[in-house]
A and B are shown apart, each in its own frame.
Chain A
């Protein structure tokens, strides 16, 4: 019997012939995550005059398989901030634990001056950039939504490269292509944020979630939505898309079985 641990659980050489170790690549560079495994798709968010709306569906896909249908990808950090996660779900869970420990540390230090959305965005951007600099990125695209130090609406993104970006409307993944143009029709610039009410912003984001469900094959009709204002965070994690209309599907040509 071969007592070496590396032989355990492998087919026996004397029965099946020598095991082909060539694909193990014992030599060569150390490789970190090369691609995400279980993934969440778009996160969409928009500022309005008193706060920010953010939404993402509750699906975690394993490749094209809709593997987990109850994964909540919006995380409330405190009464001022919600973080939305696109990309790898295990890295999201790691960041979730990181934010938990940060929150506990902050509450021990000074409970009367909580971190605001801007603080948290700066922190998360540093974490993401640190990890990409270690050649071990956290495979996520984050949206940080909430209120800044002056209690004004704040919305910014940080991605797996540590790139940061801010805009009155933001969307990650597929949503960056599909939802962002729709939201820009209503909120083209910082000045127009003042003219948008909470109800309008919620309606707009819900509309985007519907368009994304129509066209993004890795999306789902169950989603979470959060509204952050001075009054705090309203987070709902079991919303369902309403008033779907698939009439447009008839018109689509070029996929499936039709010939014309």
Chain B
């Protein structure tokens, strides 16, 4: 039944120095649909593919606005993400109430990291089966943080997690130099193209399955879904409708 004797709980090391329960939790992240995040000098953007369990059901929420200055995108167990996002909402609100301060992103990230790490060191607990991208703006400008079930967090310039996210990351690596000076619209286009990369051949980005969240200097974190995305999707993938000048040019280099 078990792969080996060392994966029964998250407090036991294998002789190779691995903690299997944590690695399994990281597998849960890889099963989740893909999410990407990018930061420029002025903005932080999150984009995600939403999945629906069946044709008749609604789509699973992928981006959760936490406070007016930041939000998170999730890959993995949505229920674990809800626990973490509720905690983050409480912490941000408490920072606003006690200090009248928008909580710094590095701060909120290390708080959930501490929580997640505790789960890997106490008997009878399990790691969170979710990875998060935390994006927004604080006193020090735009930020993007990656959170893993192990409790590891890293600040990123661009990041993609979830199923087939390697394709998205390859896109991001190829365009790394362009992000810093990108405008709001360019950043969204990059994020949507990165998403598209990791989609299987027969699938497309639509207003139903795509979700975009943006935070910027002097601008609140806003979640865009449904019809609000029409213009961006059309502008990014112009060749879908027969091509255009500016977007079509960019598409050639991408595909």
Contacts and interface: CB of A to CB of B under 8 A. Distances in A.
Interface residues of B, number: 12
B41 to A, nearest CB: 17
A112 B141 CA distance: 12
Interface of B: 97-101, 104, 106-107, 110, 138-140
B107 A115 contact: no
A120 B99 CA distance: 6
12 contacts: A109-B106, A109-B107, A109-B110, A110-B107, A113-B138, A113-B140, A119-B99, A119-B100, A122-B98, A122-B101, A123-B98, A126-B98
Contacts of A120: 99
B107 A112 contact: no
B99 A113 contact: no
Contacts of A113: 104, 107, 138-140
Contacts, number: 30
A89 to B, nearest CB: 26
Decide if the interface of chain A is mainly helix, strand, loop or mixed. helix
B100 A118 contact: yes
A85 to B, nearest CB: 20
B135 to A, nearest CB: 17
Contacts of A149: 101, 139
Contact of A119 (B101, B106, B107, B140): B101
List 5 tightest A-B contacts by C-beta distance, closest first. A122-B100, A119-B99, A113-B104, A119-B101, A113-B139
A152 to B, nearest CB: 14
Contacts of B100: 118-119, 122
A68 to B, nearest CB: 33
Nearest to B96: A122
B140 A112 contact: yes
A110 B101 contact: no
Interface in A75-122: 109-110, 112-113, 115, 118-120, 122
Nearest to B138: A113
Contacts of B101: 115, 119, 122, 149
A127 to B, nearest CB: 9
A120 B139 CA distance: 16
A100 B35 CA distance: 41
A3 B98 CA distance: 50
Nearest to A126: B98
B93 to A, nearest CB: 14
Nearest to B110: A109
Residue with the highest number of chain B CB atoms closer than 10 Å, among A113, A118, A126: A113
A149 B139 CA distance: 8
A117 to B, nearest CB: 11
Interface in A114-155: 115, 118-120, 122-123, 126, 149
A110 B106 contact: yes
